[in-house]
Amino acid sequence: MFWDLAFGVIGGLGLFLFGIQIMASGMQKAAGDRFRRILEVLTNKPVLGVFTGILVTLLVQSSSTATVMVVGFANAGLMNLSQAISVIIGSNIGTTVTAQIISFKIGVIAYPAIGAGSLINFFGRRRIHRYLGQTLLGFGLLFLGMTTMSSGMMPLKDLDAFHRLLTQFSIYPILGILCGAVFTALLQSSSAATGVIIALTLQDLIPFHSAVPLILGTNIGTCFTAMLASIGANVAAKRAAVAHVVFNVIGVCLALILLKPFTDLIIETAATVPRQVANTHTAFNILNTIVFLTFLKPFTKLVCRIVPGEDEKIEFGPKYLDPRILKTPAMAIGGAKKELLRMASIAQDMLDEAMEVFLKNDLKKIKHIEQMEELVNGLEKEINVYIADLSQHSLSQHQSKKVAGLMSAANDLERIGDHAENIMQLAEIKVEERLPFSEAALEEISEIYEKVKGMLGRSIRAYEEEDKELALLVIPEDDEVDEMEKMLRNRHIERINTKKCYPHSGVIYLDLLSNLERVADHANNIAHLVTDD
């Protein structure tokens, strides 16, 4: 009996989780990359942030994933605490939709959904059709997993110990909450934990009053993933994760105080236990959201007291590109230059952090670098569009040259961002494959990096101050970097020939040198813009 139970539950849970993953992947691909920007744009007002959290959670099919994304945005400075809290609140509501769907006894559609989804995914000519087929396939696998889990749990009906445990949950709700929290933390998915609970109710293995504490516990357990993601992150990211914990813990405490009227209300909403359990999950999060939206400002202050420190926020999108001054070219060029220098600062930070990841094996900064890369790419597009609009107005020859220089510099900075991202990816390979690097190799990398870093900083300062003398000092440094790169390459080849270097590490080393040399080339291009002016 034990093995039948274990295989049925584990196999069904595996199908359930795989179904969610497949369905989420199909929905995300169908939506394109736009859903990643939803979090950044539609969160200016708390209510909008809540609906944004619901929408994103529906797309990724996981409140934990949505919350980790929020922590990442907060860590990148693209979202303040109030925005993060509103999205997290919404994600809690969004994750209840899965529970609502699986609480209906529509397992009969599992096989037709799998068959139809597979055919559409296999024979679909357009990508959007294949993605929708993948979504349908995942939907079918989810229901098949639920059916398998539910059937696999039937032997529990004959276990007296199991029934005694469920009785304890009714008598001591805190015990049920702790069990639900631990189970969800282990699965790292509140949807999966809720699915298991509903599967138990489908076989009449668990009464409603025993299921409620478990459901409340899943809301606390789902915070575990976000807390892990915030380790080593900045103050804003830690606050976002703590806000998720505090929101759910306080909500569960309120539900415990009002447990009797709350459960009496839920019982009236449906005739079957699975539906009542799903409604408990949804009602808890909706009521909790209403309470916290009402007290959003004091809640935000509370989180700031729990996690003290300065909350830094980088504004997404341009700050200085004002379309109202396009008719005054001199002012518009000045604004575009300010935006370019802001972009340059971000590109420099990207390079610094990418090299820190490489030299210190600190992968925690990867998410931040990726967000900064998106920001740099977006600023380059915005600057080019703004300059294109400016070019439609009457410009002097000198102004036309400055405009062309701005476009060229924006392209160079965007490419520097790309090279920083390449270095980050090389660092990932280095860490994940545990590639050894000798002290000599790391010292050489640090030496050329410091040279390139100084060159880039001086070229940007020369551009900012229009300092031709400084720019003329930067230009010869490009040849110095080229010579240094050749010398280090030759040293490395010598180490390979004498078998002092691990070949796979050597490939990473050479790629890193190449990327740093290319950064120096782009810094040189920016310096030339100053001397040619």
Phi, psi of 242 (to 5 degrees): -65, -40
Q: What pLDDT, on the 0 to 100 scale, is given for residue 221? A: 86
Predicted pLDDT at 53: 78
Residue 77: predicted pLDDT: 58
User: pLDDT by residue (tens digit) across 315-326?
Assistant: 556 788 888 888
Q: What is the spatial distance between Cα 422 and Cα 498, in angstroms, rounded to a whole number? A: 29
Q: How much is the pLDDT for 59?
A: 66
How far is residue 524's CA from residue 463's CA, in Å, rounded to a whole number? Answer: 11
User: What per-residue confidence (pLDDT) applies to 210?
Assistant: 85
Q: What is the mean pLDDT of residues 182-197?
A: 78
- Once rounded to an integer, what is the mean pLDDT over residues 230-239? 72
CA distance 74 to 80: 6
pLDDT computed for residue 159 by the predictor: 60
Average confidence (pLDDT) over 174-194 = 81
Give pLDDT, residue 420. 95
For residue range 364-415, what is the model confidence (pLDDT) as tens digits?
788 778 878 888 988 999 999 999 898 888 888 888 888 899 999 999 999 9
Mean pLDDT computed over every residue of the chain = 81
Residue 33 has pLDDT above 60, yes or no: no
What number of CA atoms fall less than 13 Å from residue 296's CA on the CB side? 18
pLDDT at 237: 73
Query: Are the C-beta atoms of 350 and 421 separated by less than 8 Å?
Result: yes
Least reliable range by pLDDT among 140-154, 298-312, 367-381: 140-154
d(CA 62, CA 60): 5
Contact 75, 96 (CB under 8 A): no
Enter the tokens of residue 314.
């980088």
Percent of the chain with pLDDT over 70: 80
Task: Give the residue, 438 or 387, on which the prediction is more confident.
Answer: 387
For residue 182, what pLDDT band results from cuts at 50, 70 and 90? Answer: confident
Closest by CA to 280, choosing from 224, 209, 220, 221, is 209
pLDDT at 109: 74
- Which position has the token pair 């529990």? 156
- 418 vs 321 pLDDT, higher one: 418
Provide the token pair at 461.
């300062």
Above 90 in pLDDT, residue 421?
yes
Q: What digits encode the pLDDT tens for the residues 457-512?
A: 999 999 999 999 999 999 999 999 999 999 988 887 777 777 667 778 888 889 99
Q: What percent of the chain has pLDDT over 90?
A: 23
Q: Give the closest residue to 224 by CA, choosing from 249, 257, 254.
A: 249
Q: Whole-model pTM?
A: 0.57
* Domain boundaries, given as residue ranges, for the chain: 2-306, 323-531
Q: Give ∠ CA 57-62-65 in degrees, rounded to 5.
A: 90
323-531, which class in CATH?
Answer: mainly alpha
pLDDT at 409: 94
pLDDT over 70 (residue 161): no
pLDDT top residue among 238 and 246: 246
Record the tokens describing residue 165, joined without a space.
Answer: 């445990």
| Core vs surface per residue 297-306: b (16+ CB within 10 A) or e | eebbeebbee
pLDDT value of position 372: 84
